[in-house]
Homo-oligomer: A and B are copies of this chain.
């Protein structure tokens, strides 16, 4: 591959990651091309179709998230702190990572590919472990699970284009509100 071509490939994946983060998984190819400063033709030279490009982005994201989760787990002694830190990281405003969580949603679209499935499964398992620990430590409500966290991450970070503007601007704020509601003792007794 020619040097300039390799350079473009990088630009494309980065641009795609950004655009997807901003406009959701359905961002048009043309928007990505424009951001990367290339023509759509160039996108198709490297990726057979849109799905392939998005998958590449997903791949990239999955690894990034896995690293972030591990880093958070390492840095915080208590599991709750690690969860808090990770969620905050994943939804940081301004971060392209916004729909980093995209790596999570397409359990169908992306995890289907064997290469991704493994990484994703591992990630989920380690996240689940963190949740179990937090619950064992008595810092997290027992009636919520990793799945809840993952779903919420999806809700607030994928499809930012249809979130009310203030929410899209700072999903972390809402996710943290959510986490506060998940702390041990936060549950409203039924009948309230």
A residues near B, CB below 8 A? Answer: 81, 84, 105, 144, 147-148, 151-152, 154-156, 159, 162-164, 166-167, 174, 176-183, 186-188, 192
Contact = CB atoms under 8 A, between A and B. Distances in A.
Contacts of A186: 180-181, 183, 186
A28 to B, nearest CB: 17
A163 B166 CA distance: 19
A178 B176 contact: no
Query: Interface majority SS on A: helix, strand, loop or mixed?
Result: helix
| Number of chain copies forming the complex | 2
Contact of A188 (B84, B152, B167, B187): B84
A19 to B, nearest CB: 18
Question: Which 10 A-B residue pairings sit nearest by Cβ, starting from the closest?
Answer: A181-B181, A180-B181, A177-B181, A151-B164, A180-B186, A151-B167, A154-B164, A186-B186, A180-B188, A159-B162
A179 B105 CA distance: 25
Contact of A181 (B84, B148, B154, B182): B182
Contacts of A156: 155
Given A147-B166, A162-B159, A187 B180 contact: yes
A170 B147 CA distance: 14
Contact of A174 (B81, B152, B163): B152
Nearest to A150: B164
Given A151-B164, A155-B155, A166-B151, A84 B192 contact: yes
Contacts of A188: 84, 176, 179-180, 183
A90 to B, nearest CB: 16
B164 A162 contact: no
Given A180-B181, A181-B186, 8 more contacts: A81-B192, A84-B188, A84-B192, A148-B174, A155-B174, A159-B159, A178-B181, A180-B182
